[in-house]
Chain A
């Protein structure tokens, strides 16, 4: 009987561990990957419990926010930088932070959201547009005050960074409620709503100069929408969910799916120009430079392609890569997230210039 009792106690302990390992025990911890934004001199990287400012010259940390780990403060959304030197970043604790880009000191916070921030803020025309998991899009001025009488409401969470279109003074929001919205930036009123696309969206739409919007969905499609009225122009089928934002270069759209397929599609005809199969899920937005195309895979490989789809080189990082590559001048930034953040600065041939790993807490 004693053995039986011990067995039951053992089962209870194992059950606790088994359940805890699935959920993190209810603690509010980031479960995403690094978000990177740059200005001329600095990379701002949000990851887990900090936002880091890193010198683009040598990879040295300038500041981190918060200076020491704070309970329940963690970040997934990539920071946004305003023209007046603020770093705007939303946290998993439902709080939007404005930090001084020069020293990382807090300017103000916005705490109206009822759920966590996953999507990055868009800064346009001196307004900040913040998507939230509480089914809202908030518009703030640069002092953190709401601009609209009411936040714009959707039917599900918003994880996508909004896009803008100077031609029509619109803000476009791709929502997890399967719809794309065009919103008046002055009033927060809906201009149009697309038909239900059948799949959630978490990427940022690409918008062309001639009024077309492109967005990938979880229905295994890339969809083109007429920005004047929200009508669907065409649908391009893929082999898996399209998580990453498409990148538009001339008349060609470049994007990947989570089955590891990378596509080049003619935006006028929706014809596939070429496709290649990579070694893992493609989650980050591809980068197009004068040298060609760069994209990352979850398997930890950075691919460098020509615009015609030939592989120039690949580089393995032996860690998962979810964030897309980012270019600053002739430097390409890559952030790994497995086992902790490492930010790499590479040249166009993949040779390392410097790397940054956050030091331990002081």
Chain B
């Protein structure tokens, strides 16, 4: 089953590669955009759920029960579930689409690395996935200054700079900040968790881009920028989140 998914991904990727004139970097970019288009309903649902959850957690009723039952966790959980049901919000509404997208991201990454096939066993394995693209093999691994099968480093004045990893971390941070509505209760546990995730997630993405073939970094950057543009088109970007707020006593 998984192999069948990878086979479909690889062949679509090769089709795009052929279409864009044997440029694998462009093929990854267009393929990522295609995946974003196909998974748009999931993304839209996730955005909607996230917004609904933020609205709910900012409501007076939610704040009241936090204070009222702060020493009774069981009762607090019951009340939270009651509010979820009354407001028609699923606590996992923003998680599930992410989980469903996760295998897609892994499949996309595997299809990229398998297509590049830099070793004999990888090339032999690739042959079993290709239905009609043998004439394209071996793929052109060069894109701009990068070898897409290797982690990216840009040599400037003798220094090796992981430029793509930095761009991945920055675009991931921007995406998270601009797409996450400000939580009015900056001191509650959820807000603290969100703050931590907003910091660690871009670093994690940057580390992946630093350690893995640059084809993955191209995917991350394209995906991040596509998310920001998609949010912008929906009028949901929150530019104010980029500006650090003064701490209030």
Where the two chains meet, the residues of A that have a C-beta atom closer than 8 Å to any C-beta of B are: 1-2, 4-5, 7-8, 11-12, 14-16, 18-19, 22-23, 25-26, 30-33, 76, 116, 118, 133, 156-157, 159, 176, 178, 198-200, 202, 218-220, 240-241, 243, 258, 281, 283, 298, 322
Question: Which residues on B sit within 8 Å (CB–CB) of A25?
Answer: 211-212
CB distance from A80 to the nearest CB of B (A): 18
Closest 6 CB pairs of A and B: A31-B119, A32-B120, A1-B190, A31-B121, A218-B134, A5-B193
Q: Which of A1, A4, A33, A220 contacts B121 (CB 8 A)?
A: A33
6 extra interchain contacts, Cβ-Cβ under 8 A, other than A23-B113, A157-B138, A322-B120? A22-B110, A26-B150, A30-B119, A76-B120, A176-B137, A199-B135
Cβ B212 vs Cβ A19 within 8 A: yes
CB contacts (< 8 Å) of A198 on chain B: these are: 135
**Which secondary structure dominates where chain B touches chain A?**
helix
B25 within 8 A of A: no
Q: List 28 A-B contacts (CB under 8 A).
A: A1-B193, A2-B193, A4-B91, A4-B193, A8-B197, A8-B201, A11-B99, A11-B102, A15-B105, A19-B106, A19-B208, A22-B114, A23-B113, A26-B151, A26-B212, A31-B121, A31-B122, A32-B119, A76-B120, A118-B120, A133-B118, A156-B138, A159-B120, A176-B137, A178-B135, A200-B138, A281-B127, A283-B124
Q: How far is the CA of A22 from the CA of B110 in the complex (A)?
A: 7
Complex-state Cα separation, A198 to B136, whole angstroms: 9
Cα–Cα, bound, A26→B147 (Å): 13
B149: min CB distance to chain A, Å: 9
Q: Is the CB of A5 within 8 A of B121?
A: no
A218 surroundings in chain B (CB, below 8 A) = 127, 134-135, 137
Interface residues on B, range: 35 or more
Looking across the interface, which residue of chain B has its beta carbon closest to that of A218? B134
> Which chain A positions have C-beta within 8 A of B102?
11, 14-15
The minimal Cβ–Cβ distance linking A231 to chain B, given in whole angstroms, is 21
A19 CB contacts on chain B under 8 angstroms: 106, 109, 208, 212, 216
Q: How far is the CA of A202 from the CA of B127 in the complex (A)?
A: 13
Cβ-defined contact, A258 with B124, below 8 A: yes
Expressed in whole angstroms, the Cα–Cα distance for A298 and B213 within the complex equals: 28
Question: Closest CB-CB distance, B183 to chain A, in whole Å?
Answer: 11
**Is B95 positioned at the interface, with any CB of A under 8 Å from its CB?**
yes
Contact B135 A219 (CB under 8 A): yes
Cβ of B189 within 8 Å of any chain A Cβ, yes or no, is yes
Is the beta-carbon distance between A22 and B109 smaller than 8 angstroms?
yes
Chain B residues within an 8 Å CB radius of A30: 119
Cβ 8 A contact of B211, one of A1, A26, A202, A281: A26
